[in-house]
Amino acid sequence: MESVRGQLLVAGPALLDPNFWRTVVLVVEHNEEGALGLVLNRPSETSVGEAVPQLETLLDPQERLIIGGPVQPSAVIVLADFEEATDAALLAFDDVGVLGTSSSPDELTAGVRSGRAFLGHAGWGPGQLDGEVERGDWILEPAQLADAFSDDARGLWSDVLTRKGGSYALLARMPADPSMN
């Protein structure tokens, strides 16, 4: 399967894993060694200023940290929209990617238009994500800047499916528990 780097993985209705139910994941890296992504729509109750004051020069200290996935939940990853691509970033699409660990936030502040901090990430071993996509666990949609930095993270799953249109738009309006319909 070809790389889905820069795509959104939108959880399909059959994906019941509580870590990924109704999530939207930005695929930051996908190659023969596996994949790395960030769940975009699981805001935490903790602010950047409370948890990671070192990032206050780069990010709004009042902004909520996002639960990026079940892998390394205590690690902080910064997703940014860069003015210019640098070696200090792993780009997912366009000028959006994650900060590398080799530079301090103070060194990068001038090159970042906007950013968001995530706790943990989603990860897949070799071929694992390919199998999940082929099985229909995930619906693919090209990522847009507005998805990565949405002001309505909790509504992102429905928003992306509605944008995709057709039967996906119907899925977007499906109640969380279809038996309650």
Single-letter amino acid, residue 156:
L
Reduced to 3 states, what is the DSSP secondary structure of residue 31?
strand
| Every domain of the chain and the residues it spans | 7-180
Do 173 and 159 contact (CB within 8 A), yes or no? no
Look at residue 180 in the predicted model and tell me its pLDDT.
Answer: 58
Q: Which class does domain 7-180 fall in?
A: alpha beta
Reported as type and span, the H/E element at residue 44 is strand 43-47
Lowest-confidence segment of 25-39, 87-101, 117-131 by average pLDDT: 87-101
Look at residue 100 in the predicted model and tell me its pLDDT.
Answer: 75
Q: What is the DSSP string of 87-134?
A: TTEEEEETTEEEEPSSS-HHHHGGGEEEEEEEEEEEEE-TTHHHHHHH
